[in-house]
Amino acid sequence: MNHGGIGYITKEGRLELPPDLLEPLNINLENNSLYGIYYPPPSSTEYDEVRLQHDFMLTPIPPRYWPICGRLLLRLKNIPKTSKKITEFLKERNISIVMSEMTRSGHRYCAWSLQIIFEELIEREDHSLRNFNIEKTIFYDIDERLLSLKKDIEGAFSDSILFFNPNDLDLNTAVYVMPNTALAYFYKHYLEHKDDFIYSTFKLKGKQTSGAELHSAGGKFIKIIKEIQRRNNNKDLLLPSLVLTDLDTRYLNIRILAISQHDSKRFFELIVDYSRNGFPEKCIGIMSAIMDCIPHYYNCWGIHNNTLLSLPEMEEGRMMFLLENTRFKGNLHKECIFEAKNNFVDELKDVLTKCLENCSIDNIQTIPLIYEYAISSVKQRKAYKRGTKFDVFISYSKKDKKIVDMIKDILEKNELEVFVFDYDLKSADKFDDEIKQALHDSREIWILWSENSKGSEYVTSEWSTGWANDKFMVPICYNVAFNTLPPRLSRLQGAEINSIKIFEESSTLSDKLAKFVNEAKARRYDSLIFNARR
């Protein structure tokens, strides 16, 4: 199974991965390392139009084991001592278990997936290109041993602990063996480019905070990136850069595609929120209809379909497409978004509504793939991991209580959970504890910035706490200029409100505040999906 997301490489060479990416591997980064390699762009002419060619691979398996690593999948009867017998069998043959995962299928059997290494092959020196089977993308010796292991296990346990059903196509075999062709492929590239520094292996050490921060052990990763930049005449600056990440649990590796800030201008995320009546037989073809609307020169790098509500009579969900405009020649992200809207996005809702019965398109967003967006995405997902009680914490001066209540009312009408501390009704000795807890329990902080809040000790303390804890923050300037915000807040996107009358004028509200309300709803939606997956 594959998992993925957006991360980034900092100017200093620190790699930040999505916080949930490594969870399926159960790796504690405090005590482990990841090993990696930069692998060359494909030489085939069919990839000439692919302009992103800076790929890295990471794995918890040290490089010396890459050519001798395999996967063993067993179906075992749910009876005592089955796993004990298998582990003893492997131990007798000097086979190490690197990682394993066991799942049950009711009362009948369990499926046990093991990543294994043949100890006897570790010291062998013949893992050379001569010993590589190009057709199978594996080394001959691991292939032979896996087939022999399968035969030995079937011979020893077919009549006792293995579960299989010869009349069932899915269950007619109890033992599967597969070489780790991905790691073998990367080891082959290492051998082919052994004398070239940028293709040498490197090690990353990290720490598991609320996310996954990886640092170059010995600085080799950073040196490799700088050498890649030098060879490209610094046209592709990867420090800093965005990264697209994919984890393949079958082959224990993470693919990292680095996108320079220059190349990222061609990218954006298309988000389509939909709802439909009659699931699923009356509503076929939503994704197909969207893909038909996207021009052929847009390259699709990722598709995710998340379902928030699924009932026999209705469904609500979100589709996300990571798109690249391969013809874009501009220099600004907003120009790419403008082109996309002119090319197809502005017409997308009408087209989909007309061609899809029983289906409505609730919202369409286009988000540029900028470096700051990657940072924000990682921070938000860190916050989702912590869990939240409130969607929005509003920080304000009590002298602005009237307008805060109006903002709170708008947010709550949009089904958002809002925390506003009532200074008039609660005693001073409860201020600190309740506010601290609410800040911890809120996904994001909205700061009402006014002449009154400029001098408020509580407002300063609240937004500073939010900043230190990676909270998503939205400043709202009320009767003050945006440039009066503190420097750390002035770099954020926010709204300006010049009069309390805007809350009585829906058209003005749409321009001033509705954008941020809709985005908060989208972040709530993401949070629900993320936590539902867990």
Q: What is the sign, positive or negative, of the torsion defined by CA atoms of 256, 261, 267, 269?
A: positive
Strands 314-325 and 267-277: antiparallel
Q: Tokens 């009402």 correspond to what residue?
A: 448
- The pLDDT tens digits of the residues spanning 235-269 come to 778 999 999 999 998 888 999 999 998 899 999 99
Strands of the sheet with 109-118, listed across from one edge: 95-105, 109-118, 69-77, 175-179
Give mean pLDDT, residues 73-94: 94
Using a cut of 0.75, tell me whether the model's pTM lies above it.
no
Tokens of 11: 């100017």
Mean per-residue pLDDT over the chain, rounded: 83
Cβ-Cβ contacts under 8 Å for 303 (sequence gap 6 or more): 287, 319, 320, 321, 322
Give mean pLDDT, residues 83-93: 95
Separation CA 246–CA 7 (nearest Å) = 11
- The pLDDT tens digits of the residues spanning 162-190 come to 999 888 878 889 999 998 888 888 888 88
Q: List the domains of the chain with CATH numbers.
A: 2-64+184-262 (no CATH), 72-183 (3.30.70), 264-369 (3.30.70.260), 387-533 (3.40.50.10140)
Cβ-Cβ contacts under 8 Å for 346 (sequence gap 6 or more): none
- Residues 358/278, Cβ–Cβ less than 8 Å: yes
Indicate whether 45 pLDDT > 70: no
- The pLDDT tens digits of the residues spanning 118-149 come to 988 876 655 666 777 766 666 777 888 999 99
Q: Tokens 């570790």 correspond to what residue?
A: 122
Give mean pLDDT, residues 290-311: 86
Q: What is the pLDDT of residue 318?
A: 84
